[in-house]
Structure 1
Amino acid sequence: MEQSRKIGWYGLGSMGLFMAINLHNKLKAEGSYLTYSNRTLSKGEVLSQEGAKPKNGITEVARECDDIFLMVSTDAVLKGLISEMLESDVDLKGKTVLDCSTTHPDTAAEVAGLLQAAGASFVASPVFGANTVAQAGRLLFAMAGNQEAIQRLEPLIVGVMGRKIVNMGENARDSVLLKVTGNVLLVVFLEAIAETQVLAEKNGLGTKVMEEVIFENFGPVLGGYSRRMTSGSYAPKEGNAGFSVANTIKDAKHALRLAQDLDVRMPALDLATNNMLSAKAYGGENLDGAALYGVLRSQSGLPFWSNESRQQ
């Protein structure tokens, strides 16, 4: 990779912070550093302590850096950042923007067109995996867009932030379409595991033995989904939820919108989304997407909160 190109990062949420730390460690080992920013800049203190360079906003990151990774929560935030860069005095020609967020495919296509008109390249790079997978540097990257950029930046992704790249070609829309479609499995799995664990608790088997079976029979991914429920992390006693219920709802709604446009029925996803909406209405913002477990508990005569979760 071209060592002269400076690398930037914006977005230090539950996924982005771990990804940025892994990327900075790689750059630091090569005698360089990551330039970063975030809406709340203090969230990057651990990066600053390790030699990464903070900047006040996306414009300053874009001014200094050639390749800029984004990891943000919503389509609106992404569009706002792109607009901010385009409306600034920063010359974007020759720069590459890589968006690791999960957006609607139409948003990726729109952003790609805007950046290309400004002489920049865009790579839609949504990732599969929870924050624990991000911390371990084992995310699966779905990437589409400028192929030269994907090839050039692969050494900063594979073995650093992710285990593999699924290259979806030149059309940025396609990698996001893959991510949104794949997220149907995530949400429906959460619903199925929550239903299973509530039944196991009610029929006397207990969640511990059921979780053992889930791990042994279906592997660590589904076992990890179960643990998000049984450990109480669906409504953490301290700190912030791993992957917020609001973001999970957003991802599910993207899939439901695509399905509606194509006249595809998705009753399981629709049910799970409604349960997440109910969870958010009852328990507030600081819930994990697995909080549909609390709703199913309530519907079965159990408290929304478990002994392991917070209690209100």
Structure 2
Amino acid sequence: MGIGMALNLQKHLASKGLPPLRYSNRTLSRGETLREAGGLPERDFETLLLKSSVIFTMISNNEVLDSLVSKFLDTWNSALLEGKIWVDTSTVHPDTAAKCSERLAKVGATFVASPVFGASPMAAAGQLIFAMAGPSAAIEKLRPFVVNVMGKIIIDMGEDVRKSSLLKISGNIFVIGFQELTAEAQVFAEKTGLGTRQMEQFIRDIYGPVIESYSKRMTTGAYAPPLGTPPGFAVSLAAKDAGHAVRIAEEHGESLDSSSIYGAARLEASLPFWNENSRQSN
């Protein structure tokens, strides 16, 4: 899971006198803030699995999730895996979620597909929205560790884990569309002399903090961060998420219009790709 989610969960566990959150990552140093908050680092994913009864994952794509499930099944015998709950908060294809659920069920483990809605500020504030699908008993067991801890609400998608993945992918269609509209509005504001600051205030007051956060990624230059600085959200991940939506739409005889990004919208308005706060201007 993301660092904001993990910190909130660790703080909750500590406040209740419960055992600390165990965590692992390919780059373990990224969890230093979590360790300082009382979390316990584990050297590898296999050890983490053995020592945990509930496992949260957030990974980059279908292949990584599938490989982690394979490690889970290949490393330990079924007697050690029975009763464990695996909660995946990633954006993966519905078929991948279904496959993982089926594989884990064979050894008595439970899979809960639980992609989340909300950017990093919402995660830090414990205001994420969890779209959960899986056995109802597992979801109820997870609820006290999610609602008012990492998220503000659980959308119960029933037992079919495909449904939560579909909702997340559907939600991403909105995200892409909102980003296009926001980019076009901010370029219009800059081009006409209205001003991006005033437009951003309007966006915040009328449409709320979520759309405002998309605007800030543009006006602060975050859409083109300094060289050597990791992006807030990698292009490869955005392409993966959009690809899921496009492929599923095609499978059902639908089409999705492609969206623009802020820099491209600026070019179309005869403005430079870079704004005054982006990489090229610093």
TM over 0.5: yes
Output the amino acid matched with 1:100: T
Partner secondary structure for residue 305 of structure 1:
coil
2:235 paired residue number: 245
Partner secondary structure for residue 140 of structure 1:
strand
Kindly indicate whether residue 198 of structure 2 is the aligned counterpart of residue 198 of structure 1.
no
**4+ residue segments displaced more than 6 Å:** none
Partner secondary structure for residue 208 of structure 2:
helix
Kindly indicate whether residue 273 of structure 2 is the aligned counterpart of residue 308 of structure 1.
no
- State the 1:301 CA deviation: 2.5
What does residue range 1-312 of structure 1 map to in structure 2 within 5 Å?
Answer: 11=1, 16-31=2-17, 32-90=19-77, 91-237=80-226, 239-267=229-257, 271-272=258-259, 275=260, 292-311=261-280
Output the amino acid matched with 2:99: E
- State the 1:239 CA deviation: 4.1
Stretches of structure 2 that go unaligned for 5 or more consecutive residues are none
- State the 1:184 CA deviation: 0.4
1:279 paired residue number: none
- State the 1:248 CA deviation: 1.9
Output the amino acid matched with 2:122: V
Map Cα deviations across residues 165-203 of structure 1 (whole Å, 9 max, x no partner). Answer: 000111111111111111100111101111111122112
Quick one: distance in 1 between partners of 2:268 and 2:137?
Answer: 52
Partner secondary structure for residue 97 of structure 1:
strand
Stretches of structure 1 that go unaligned for 5 or more consecutive residues are 1-10, 276-291
- State the 1:48 CA deviation: 1.3
Output the amino acid matched with 1:61: L
Asked if structure 2 preserves the Cα contact closer than 8 Å seen for 1:130 and 1:243, the reply is: no
Quick one: distance in 2 between partners of 1:196 and 1:142?
Answer: 30
Asked if structure 2 preserves the Cα contact closer than 8 Å seen for 1:59 and 1:85, the reply is: yes
Partner secondary structure for residue 72 of structure 1:
coil
Map Cα deviations across residues 235-272 of structure 1 (whole Å, 9 max, x no partner). Answer: 223843222332222111111111000011212xxx22
Quick one: distance in 2 between partners of 1:251 and 1:62?
Answer: 27
Asked if structure 2 preserves the Cα contact closer than 8 Å seen for 1:131 and 1:243, the reply is: no
**TM-score normalised by the chain length of structure 2:** 0.94
User: Aligned residues, how many?
Assistant: 277
Map Cα deviations across residues 145-184 of structure 1 (whole Å, 9 max, x no partner). Answer: 0211110111100001000000011111111111111110
Quick one: distance in 1 between partners of 2:123 and 2:203?
Answer: 22
Partner secondary structure for residue 208 of structure 1:
helix
Partner secondary structure for residue 280 of structure 2:
coil
Quick one: distance in 2 between partners of 1:61 and 1:208?
Answer: 46
Quick one: distance in 1 between partners of 2:198 and 2:76?
Answer: 60
**TM-score normalised by the chain length of structure 1:** 0.85
